[in-house]
Chains A and B, each alone.
Chain A
Amino acid sequence: MVRGGRVALDDLTCTVEPGSVTGLLGPSGSGKTTFIRAIVGVQRVERGRVEVLGEPAGVSALRAEVGYMTQSGSVYDDLTIRENLRFFARIVGTRADAVERALEATSLEKERDRVVGRLSGGQRARVSLAVALLGAPRLLVLDEPTVGLDPVLRRDLWRLFHKLAAEGTTLLVSSHVMDEAERCDALLLLRDGRLLAHGTPAEIRRCTGGADLEEAFLRLIEEPPA
């Protein structure tokens, strides 16, 4: 469950604080995307319960409350940035100025009339993020949002994430870059679909005795399963 709730994946349970940035970390194949898909309600869940904002994940009442950015981009390559945003804005049913705000937040104003298929990977990822921002969702779920971005853009996006969190949005951000983990308020570390650790960056460093997060995670990951 997210935001005052809990998420269970393979018999593990955790809570995510409202208005915070939670990092979801783990090696490739550890279940990060499955975890995220379960929260946005597109993953078929065999057993157990996923609740988001007090409702079962995926119910129609949540569809206007949860913003989702997939890893693959999930935008229309043959449309311009603005056409993409306008389309999704109409689906979300948001106000007309949401498109401009999303363009501004992702620094895409100058690119707005370019066709998405001709953009770089990083620009495309930002279009996808802009779509997720449209409805001013209470929960933003971002699957590897900063892959392929240069350091300046990454820094700007992390500023944006914290600004959104300060305004009350709850963010769940998956990543496999450790310097991004430091920027999260809380961390979830997954391995083989199980939650290995959950806490603030400082707590995780302390309990593993690692000097930095990278070392802490390596220790946790390489530790034989209990």
Chain B
Amino acid sequence: MSVRATVAVAARVLAQLRRDPRTLALVIGVPALLETLLEQILAGRAGMFQHIGAPLLGLFPFVTMFLVTSITMLRERNSGTLERLMTLPIGKLDLLAGYGAAFALLAAVQVAFVAAIAFGPLGLEVQGPRWIVAALAVGNAILGSALGLAASAFARTEFQAVQFMPGVVFPQILLCGLFVAREEMARWLRWVSDALPLTYAYDALAHTASNTLDDRFALDVAVVACVTVLALALGAASLRRRTA
């Protein structure tokens, strides 16, 4: 690992994002807009927003960073810059860590903004500490980045990469327990749900919202962390110095 190379990659990714203010505005603004919409449509149903507001806040960064990372890495693969980097003195882990750091920073800004709005004007309340909700959200962003990185290895074009979003992300959102409690799902659906990382990400957020930071919460966090490391390893394995 080289700190110099990691910092260089992170700075470069941030410079690329800075050149694209529209994307930045969307990344930061859209979650806040959606959170506001959610609060508005649930205005007549007491407690509903309080129930799903925090989990949704924590899952937005996962979705955004999955997309942003998979497209950015795909561009890197297709433009030849990855091939050039692979001939230079930089480790794969430096490259991945640089990406992770840049997107975690972006996620932190995104989370800070949507959290300020949700906990401020929208009146979202959680029984657990708010900072844990924010920390989980940034953690989920890193998970999203790691999965996006791995997904980019399976996409040849940007169209394919974009389709991974409904293909990989939506089923996880449907099955994580946000819309239907997992206890009410058919047994096979619960099994599938057990195997998906977002289930644990959601569960950790729900536990924070109800302030039940017990063993199950610790397990959730551990699973999310392990899957992140695994996805990064898979992503690293997909970065080949030599290709046919």
Interface residues of A (CB under 8 A from B): 40-45, 58, 60, 63-64, 66, 68, 70, 72-79, 83, 87-88, 90-93, 115, 131
Question: Are A79's CB and B88's CB within 8 A?
Answer: no
Nearest CB of B to A84, in Å:
9
Q: Pick the contact of A79: B9, B15, B80, B244 (CB < 8 A).
A: B15
Query: What's the Cα separation between A127 and B85 when bound, in Å?
Result: 15
Query: What's the Cα separation between A40 and B86 when bound, in Å?
Result: 9
Does B167 count as interface, using CB distance less than 8 angstroms? no
Nearest CB of B to A45, in Å:
8
Residues from chain A with a CB closer than 8 A to the CB of B85 are 91
Nearest CB of B to A180, in Å:
22
CB-based nearest A residue for B20 = A78
Given contacts A74-B81, A78-B16, A79-B19, contact A44 B243 (CB under 8 A): yes
Question: Are A41's CB and B241's CB within 8 A?
Answer: yes
Question: Are B19's CB and A68's CB within 8 A?
Answer: no
Query: What's the Cα separation between A115 and B20 when bound, in Å?
Result: 12
Residues from chain A with a CB closer than 8 A to the CB of B79 are 72-77
Given contacts A41-B242, A42-B242, A44-B242, contact A63 B88 (CB under 8 A): yes
Residues from chain B with a CB closer than 8 A to the CB of A66 are 87
Question: Are A58's CB and B241's CB within 8 A?
Answer: yes
Residues from chain B with a CB closer than 8 A to the CB of A90 are 4-5, 7-8
Q: Pick the contact of B83: A70, A76, A88 (CB < 8 A).
A: A70
Question: Are B84's CB and A70's CB within 8 A?
Answer: yes
Residues from chain A with a CB closer than 8 A to the CB of B9 are 91
CB-based nearest B residue for A40 = B87
Nearest CB of B to A112, in Å:
15
Nearest CB of B to A10, in Å:
16
Query: What's the Cα separation between A92 and B4 when bound, in Å?
Result: 10
Q: Pick the contact of B89: A43, A64, A76 (CB < 8 A).
A: A64
Query: What's the Cα separation between A63 and B16 when bound, in Å?
Result: 25
Count residues of B near A (Cβ-Cβ below 8 Å): 26
Q: List 23 A-B contacts (CB under 8 A).
A: A44-B243, A45-B242, A58-B242, A63-B89, A70-B83, A74-B84, A75-B79, A78-B16, A78-B20, A79-B19, A87-B8, A87-B12, A88-B84, A88-B88, A90-B4, A90-B5, A90-B7, A90-B8, A91-B8, A91-B85, A91-B88, A115-B19, A131-B84
Residues from chain B with a CB closer than 8 A to the CB of A63 are 87-90
Residues from chain B with a CB closer than 8 A to the CB of A79 are 12, 15-16, 19
Given contacts A44-B243, A76-B12, could you give 16 more A-B pairs where the C-beta distance is less than 8 Å?
A: A42-B86, A45-B242, A58-B241, A58-B242, A63-B90, A66-B87, A74-B80, A74-B84, A79-B16, A79-B19, A83-B15, A87-B11, A90-B8, A91-B5, A91-B8, A91-B89
Residues from chain A with a CB closer than 8 A to the CB of B83 are 42, 70, 74
Residues from chain B with a CB closer than 8 A to the CB of A74 are 79-81, 83-84
CB-based nearest B residue for A75 = B81
**Which 6 A-B pairs rank lowest in CB-CB distance, beginning with the nearest?**
A74-B80, A90-B8, A72-B80, A74-B84, A63-B89, A44-B242
Nearest CB of A to B240, in Å:
8
Question: Are B8's CB and A68's CB within 8 A?
Answer: no
Query: What's the Cα separation between A16 and B183 when bound, in Å?
Result: 70
